Structure 1
């Protein structure tokens, strides 16, 4: 089950930054086009729910944790090493 119900563009950019991934690298890991990532991160287009799941899965597999908006708001952090 996903911790984040809605991935925000800022979370996506922040997660890529923590992983040192380009938009193209995220797109490749998620199996989507680079323009999909670019258009989402710039607010040009919303994501289809299945595409959103692909991006979340790729980011989490890469080693980030997406944080749900609670009292402090949404965020992203590196996962603790196993």
Structure 2
């Protein structure tokens, strides 16, 4: 099963991670530092390689949410991201 098919409750899709980074102008390296993971792990997840652990996806999600990214769940229109309104 690829990461893009591994959607469990609060899990996020590779495209959401890429889009979230783009919204806040973060590189893979910056995200890796923010969530305490190797850059290679971020790259593999964004390429939908392997089957990441839920704890890994949670760390990425938490780092991006702390930086202002909101994750939009699949609701018939597709999963997505946006910037949090302060």
Assess same fold via TM > 0.5: yes
TM-score normalized with structure 2 length: 0.86
Off by >6 Å, runs of 4+ in structure 1 = none
Q: CA deviation at 1:44?
A: 1.4
Please give the root-mean-square deviation of Cα atoms over the aligned residues, in Å.
Answer: 1.0
Which runs of 5 or more residues in structure 1 are unaligned? none
User: How do residues 6-45 of structure 1 correspond to structure 2 at under 5 angstroms?
Assistant: 6-45=11-50
Q: How many Å separate the matches in 2 of 1:6 and 1:49? A: 7
Which runs of 5 or more residues in structure 2 are unaligned? 1-8
Count of paired positions = 78
Q: CA deviation at 1:5?
A: 1.8
TM-score normalized with structure 1 length: 0.90
Q: CA deviation at 1:6?
A: 1.8
